[in-house]
């Protein structure tokens, strides 16, 4: 016979004799229900009766008054049923049972619970056969099974370890195929760019622009004087660009013709985390059509890195440019968070991810 059991919460309780339980004033469900009480905590001990059914004992200080619907019977005539263990249970409607968190075995099974305790109430089916209710609180939660094979316990993404590994291998092979493909790009037509901004929102302004090409040659690297913003203390701490530094820098409007020219000659324009960069650089064009053309050339190095780590290094959680550099063991040139260092770093990460990107 089992001497101890682990509850769903992880608490371990021990088998106890009725005599010992009485001496400690422990209460069974039946006694509690006769007193119109219900347990407020988990069982503190259990007994396996002669017929093998499980009876839980509850601590007398961890009880609460039962809600009226639990003990109120609309008819004066109470219907009860005596279980083999001698425990008397009461008839209850399905609705009232559900309000008490009591369910049929079938219903609990659907919720992935296994019944261990004896029934706590009952009702009659239409054919007068008996239907027992069990307390969900003391039912055992079963492990969730793999949604693919249904054979093994879930490991990750609702799949068992085997199915998960198989799924990962397929995705990895697909990702590797894309990354190692030959793209035949001309180095001069691939651009990497990064912006530093006065803030994190759409209305914030550009403070610096760096654009390099696939050779690692500088195409543009300039500070930009914002037209409306005078101070940016929060982002200044990140990129180190002060208002004094941009005092004599060109305005974005002065740079637009040159940037357009650079972008027009490019086939791919790559940035690390393009959404912020694109939402600012798109304003060099004043119509949606041109913005769409630019958008179609843009590739996100961060997205590709995230895909890579999902496939190869699922234990990695963070995907900033600094994380990517560390993951691939690439050295920084210059200070991270300056647009120039970030642009060179982005190019290096891209080169690792897409080793056959260029024609030569």
CA distance between the termini of the chain: 75
| Contact window for Zn ion (CB under 5 A) among 46-54, 155-163, 182-190, 193-201 | 155-163
- Of 142 and 149, the one with the shorter C-beta distance to Zn ion is 149
| Contact window for Zn ion (CB under 5 A) among 101-109, 140-148, 177-185, 324-332 | 140-148
- CB atoms near residue 59 (< 10 Å): 17
Binding flag, residue 164, Zn ion (CB under 5 A): no
Query: What's the closest the beta carbon of residue 201 comes to Zn ion, in angstroms?
Result: 45
Select the residue interacting with Zn ion from 92, 146, 284, 346 (CB under 5 A): 146
Select the residue interacting with Zn ion from 148, 258, 299, 310 (CB under 5 A): 148
Binding flag, residue 163, Zn ion (CB under 5 A): yes
Separation between Cα atoms, residue 233 and residue 229, nearest integer Å = 11
- Of 66 and 145, the one with the shorter C-beta distance to Zn ion is 145
Query: What's the closest the beta carbon of residue 309 comes to Zn ion, in angstroms?
Result: 24
Q: Residue written as tokens 């093994």? A: 152
Binding flag, residue 166, Zn ion (CB under 5 A): no
Select the residue interacting with Zn ion from 45, 160, 190, 270 (CB under 5 A): 160
- Of 149 and 170, the one with the shorter C-beta distance to Zn ion is 149
Query: What's the closest the beta carbon of residue 142 comes to Zn ion, in angstroms?
Result: 16
- Of 145 and 300, the one with the shorter C-beta distance to Zn ion is 145
Query: What's the closest the beta carbon of residue 147 comes to Zn ion, in angstroms?
Result: 8
Phi-psi region for residue 277, left (φ > 0), alpha (ψ -120 to 50) or beta? alpha
Cα 138–142–87 angle (5° rounding)? 30
Joined tokens for residue 351: 């080169």
- Of 10 and 150, the one with the shorter C-beta distance to Zn ion is 150
Binding flag, residue 149, Zn ion (CB under 5 A): yes
The secondary structure of residue 140, as a DSSP letter, is: E
Query: What's the closest the beta carbon of residue 172 comes to Zn ion, in angstroms?
Result: 18
Binding flag, residue 169, Zn ion (CB under 5 A): no
- CB atoms near residue 197 (< 10 Å): 24
Distances from the Cα of 245 to the Cα of 113, 193, 230, 238, angstroms = 66, 21, 12, 15
User: For the residues of 261-279, what is the DSSP string, one character each?
Assistant: HHHHT-SEEEESSHHHHHH
Separation between Cα atoms, residue 16 and residue 9, nearest integer Å = 20
Q: Which residues bind Zn ion (CB under 5 A)?
A: 146, 148-149, 160, 163
């Amino acid at each position: 016979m089992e001497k101890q059991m682990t509850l769903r919460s992880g608490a371990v309780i021990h088998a106890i004799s009725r005599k010992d339980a009485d001496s400690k004033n422990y209460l069974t469900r039946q006694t509690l229900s006769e007193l119109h009480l219900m347990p407020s905590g988990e069982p503190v001990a259990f007994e396996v009766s002669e017929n093998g059914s499980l009876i839980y004992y509850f601590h007398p200080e961890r009880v609460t008054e039962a809600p009226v619907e639990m003990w109120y019977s609309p008819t004066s005539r109470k219907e009860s049923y005596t279980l083999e263990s001698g425990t008397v249970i009461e008839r209850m409607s399905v609705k009232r049972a559900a309000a008490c968190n009591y369910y049929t075995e079938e219903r609990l099974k659907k919720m992935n619970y296994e019944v261990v305790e004896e029934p706590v109430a009952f009702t009659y089916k239409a054919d007068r056969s008996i239907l027992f209710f069990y307390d969900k609180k003391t039912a055992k939660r079963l492990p969730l099974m793999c949604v693919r094979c249904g054979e093994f316990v879930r490991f990750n993404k609702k799949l068992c370890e085997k199915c998960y590994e198989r799924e990962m291998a397929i995705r990895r092979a697909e990702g590797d195929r894309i990354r190692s493909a030959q793209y035949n790009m001309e180095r001069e037509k691939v651009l990497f760019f990064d912006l530093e901004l006065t803030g994190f929102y759409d209305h914030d302004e550009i403070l610096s622009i760096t654009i390099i090409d696939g050779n690692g040659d500088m195409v543009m690297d300039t500070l930009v004087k914002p037209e409306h913003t005078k101070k940016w203390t929060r982002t200044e701490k990140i990129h180190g660009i002060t208002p004094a530094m941009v005092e004599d820098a060109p305005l974005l409007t002065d740079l637009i013709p040159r940037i357009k020219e650079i972008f027009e000659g490019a086939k791919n324009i790559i940035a690390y985390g393009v959404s912020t960069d694109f939402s600012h650089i798109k304003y060099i064009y004043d119509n949606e059509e041109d913005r769409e053309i630019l958008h179609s050339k843009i590739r996100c190095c961060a997205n590709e890195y995230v895909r890579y780590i999902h496939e190869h290094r699922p234990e990695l959680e963070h995907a900033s440019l600094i994380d990517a550099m560390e993951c691939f063991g690439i050295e920084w040139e210059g200070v991270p968070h300056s647009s120039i260092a970030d642009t060179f770093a982005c190019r290096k990460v891209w080169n690792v991810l897409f080793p056959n990107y260029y024609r030569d």
